[in-house]
Amino acid sequence: MASTARTTSCLYGITAVGMLWLVAMLAAAAVAQEPQPQHWDRATASSLLSYIEQIGGQGLNPADYEPSQLRQAIDSADAATLEQQATESFGLVAEDLATGHVQPGQRGRYYIAPDSLDPNRVSRMINMAITAHQVSWVLDSFAPQNPEYAALRKALAGPDGADAAKRSKLTATLERWRWFPHNPGGRYLIVNIPEYSLRLIDAGKEIESHKVIVGKPNLPTPQFSTEVTGVIFNPPWNVPQSIIRESVGALVRGNPAGARSHGYAWTSVAGHLEVTQAPAPGNSLGQMKLDMPNPLRVYLHDTPGKALFDEPDRTFSHGCMRLQDPFDLAETLLANAGWDRRRIDAAVASRTTRRVALSTPLPVYVVYMTAVPQADGSVLYLKDPYTQDAPVAAQLN
């Protein structure tokens, strides 16, 4: 027992006396294994300055990244000044390439959550740039890596960049790609408002595309993201109050029999007229709606007005997006849930409302890109139906 007591006593003694020393030694060893902060040298800072001076090639303004201050710091003999200014300029460039220059509150009707930029990543990339004595490829890694962004940069550097109208579209669209999530998912839907189109993208490839109708200029479809969780066949239409005030309310009050013949039913709740249109081929939602919950109450759906898809400029809705050939898309989205076209057609013919869940929720993004790269390397320049390019270009300048 005495021997055991002495051993225990000795053990406690080592723990008490030597613990601080042991912790300090372990911490020092851990720090020694971590990459140590690198410090800017004049050559690497000069490479950063050159990058900033050429950043107009991405539609950004060099003046936003303090080039004159950086030049002065390079010319000075003060290492601390160089360290502070080069780090600040690098961080400003990295942030704008990663998340966009126009601040979220200044992007108009834009409701797509921005990417976040981890300060630790910026620090690591600064160390990498200094170690490699190379800034350009490090900063380029913060920018979108999709082929559209690369193609638009190429167009901006070519003859199109000298055309004022095309340059405005290129710079605005490059900026919107910087707003867009850099990792949107392996499979997703994307609606481009000025193109009046929807595409299903899978592993970077377009699987199918559809024409869409979007909101009128005075009732614009917003840019937003959500998830499609299911497909609703024969949906009823809960008429928004804005449309009740605009047209349906007058029909209900002035010609109730005619309103009923169009499938409308209504009630008064706290003095407000509430109207629902029953499922039918003539229902304003058509015979299919994508279930994509969002607080904006903007959806993708069928329409009885098929002829409008032949129009080149399709700004006819109250904000929702009407979809051409909706059952083709439904067949693709529900394939993993065991639904083929025959089963879809039977569900629609029943005129009974039915929701079918997707096997996996599908991200959907509604965006506004007026410069669209084509497969042949050219860029398609679209009309700006909501006059959104000029405000973005102005904030970039």
Q: Looking at the chain, how many residues does it have?
A: 397
Question: What is the distance between the alpha carbons of residues 353 and 319, in angstroms, rounded to a whole number?
Answer: 23
Is residue 353's pLDDT more than 60? yes
Question: What is the distance between the alpha carbons of residues 264 and 192, in angstroms, rounded to a whole number?
Answer: 32
Q: What value does the mean pLDDT of the chain take?
A: 89
Kindly report the pTM of this predicted structure: 0.87
Within 10 angstroms of residue 362's Cβ, the number of other Cβ atoms is: 19
Residue ranges of domains in the chain: 42-143, 183-235+284-396, 237-278
Give the model's pLDDT for residue 269.
Answer: 82
Question: What is the distance between the alpha carbons of residues 174 and 163, in angstroms, rounded to a whole number?
Answer: 16
Is residue 31's pLDDT more than 80? no
Is residue 19's pLDDT more than 50? no
Question: What is the distance between the alpha carbons of residues 276 and 306, in angstroms, rounded to a whole number?
Answer: 22
Give the model's pLDDT for residue 274.
Answer: 87
CA 205 vs CA 51, 179, 182, 361, 362: distances in Å = 32, 21, 16, 19, 16
CA 229 vs CA 91, 93, 238, 320, 360: distances in Å = 38, 37, 19, 17, 7
Give the model's pLDDT for residue 254.
Answer: 83
Is residue 262's pLDDT more than 80? yes
Give per-residue pLDDT as tens, 102-160. Answer: 999 899 999 999 889 999 999 999 999 999 998 999 999 999 999 999 999 999 999 99
| Residue appearing with tokens 């969002």 | 294
Give the model's pLDDT for residue 17.
Answer: 39
Q: Which of 10, 101, 262, 301 is catalytic?
A: 301
Give the phi and the psi of residue 372 in degrees, each rounded to 5.
-120, 115
Give the phi and the psi of residue 281 in degrees, each rounded to 5.
-60, -30
The strand pair at 264-269 and 321-323 is best described as: unpaired
Give the model's pLDDT for residue 385.
Answer: 98
89: pLDDT confidence band, cut at 50, 70 and 90? very high
* Two tokens, residue 344: 């879809």
Over residues 182-187, mean pLDDT: 95
Which of the pair, 260 or 202, is modelled with greater confidence? 202
DSSP characters over 214-241:
EE-TTSPPPEEEEEEEEEEES--EE--H
Give the model's pLDDT for residue 25.
Answer: 45
Give helix 389-396 / helix 164-179 axis angle, nearest 10°. 80
Amino acid identity, residue 95? Answer: E
CA 74 vs CA 51, 67, 133: distances in Å = 14, 10, 15
Give the model's pLDDT for residue 359.
Answer: 93
Has 10 been annotated as catalytic?
no
- Sequence-distant (6+) residues with CB within 8 A of 70 are 45, 48, 49, 52, 85, 86, 89
Is residue 22's pLDDT more than 80? no
Give the model's pLDDT for residue 295.
Answer: 94
The answer to whether the beta carbons of residues 241 and 288 sit under 8 Å apart is no
Is residue 171's pLDDT more than 80? yes
Question: What is the distance between the alpha carbons of residues 80 and 73, in angstroms, rounded to a whole number?
Answer: 9
The answer to whether the beta carbons of residues 174 and 372 sit under 8 Å apart is no
Is residue 194's pLDDT more than 90? yes
Give the model's pLDDT for residue 38.
Answer: 77
Lowest-confidence range among 9-23, 118-132, 231-245, 333-347? 9-23
Give the model's pLDDT for residue 35.
Answer: 52
Which of the pair, 392 or 256, is modelled with greater confidence? 392
Has 301 been annotated as catalytic?
yes
Put the strands of the sheet holding 264-269 in their side by side order: 237-238, 272-277, 264-269
Over residues 376-380, mean pLDDT: 96
350: pLDDT confidence band, cut at 50, 70 and 90? very high
Give the model's pLDDT for residue 318.
Answer: 92
CATH topology (fold) of 183-235+284-396: L,D-transpeptidase catalytic domain-like (2.40.440)
The answer to whether the beta carbons of residues 301 and 285 sit under 8 Å apart is yes
Lowest-confidence range among 179-183, 268-272, 284-288? 268-272
Over residues 292-305, mean pLDDT: 96
Over residues 342-360, mean pLDDT: 96
Q: Which of 101, 210, 318, 320 is catalytic?
A: 320
Q: Which of 194, 115, 122 is nearest to 387 (CA)?
A: 194
Question: What is the distance between the alpha carbons of residues 341 and 349, in angstroms, rounded to a whole number?
Answer: 12
The gap between the terminal CA atoms of the chain, to the nearest Å, is 83
Q: Which of 244, 242, 229, 233 is nearest to 279 (CA)?
A: 233
The answer to whether the beta carbons of residues 366 and 111 sit under 8 Å apart is no
Give the model's pLDDT for residue 37.
Answer: 65
Percentage of the chain lying above the pLDDT 70 cut: 91
Question: What is the distance between the alpha carbons of residues 140 and 54, in angstroms, rounded to a whole number?
Answer: 12
